[in-house]
């Protein structure tokens, strides 16, 4: 993997993107940027041509740091196992 010039300053945010979480998401983005880093997340990629997981992996690979909020857990309907804040709909 070749590091981009911004790699050292990029922070990947993994969190829910629903309306209830939005105020906290905005606070996280503000804090990251205020500290001189670049906030990155899956929302920045809106191309429907790529598979979502590939977009997320690409963004993660461009970030040295990550913030992961796994506080939101839903049960998967088929397996009954917890799914932490990543929804593939």
Instruction: Give a yes or no: residue 2 inside a domain.
Output: no
Range of the domain at 69: 7-84
Q: Residue 89 pLDDT more than 50?
A: no
Q: What is the pTM for the complete model shown?
A: 0.74
Count of domains for the chain: 1
How many residues does this entry show for the chain? 89
pLDDT tens for 22-73 read 999 999 999 999 999 999 998 887 666 667 788 888 999 999 999 987 777 7
Instruction: Give a yes or no: residue 89 inside a domain.
Output: no
Q: Look at phi and psi of residue 36 and say left if phi exceeds 0, alpha if psi is from -120 to 50, else beta.
A: left
Task: Report the Cα–Cα distance between both ends of the chain, in Å, rounded.
Answer: 29
> At 82, is the pLDDT very low, low, confident or very high (cuts 50, 70, 90)?
confident
Q: Rounded to whole angstroms, how far apart are CA atoms 55 and 78?
A: 25
Q: Residue 1 pLDDT more than 70?
A: no
């Amino acid at each position: 993997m070749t590091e981009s010039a911004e790699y050292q300053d990029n922070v990947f945010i993994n969190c829910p993107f629903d309306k209830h979480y939005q105020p906290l998401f905005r606070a996280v983005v503000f804090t990251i940027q205020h500290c001189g880093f670049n906030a990155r997340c899956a929302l920045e990629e809106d191309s429907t041509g790529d598979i979502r997981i590939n977009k997320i992996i690409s963004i993660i690979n461009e970030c040295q740091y990550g913030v992961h909020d796994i506080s939101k857990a839903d049960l998967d309907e088929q397996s009954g196992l917890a799914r932490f804040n990543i929804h593939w709909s």
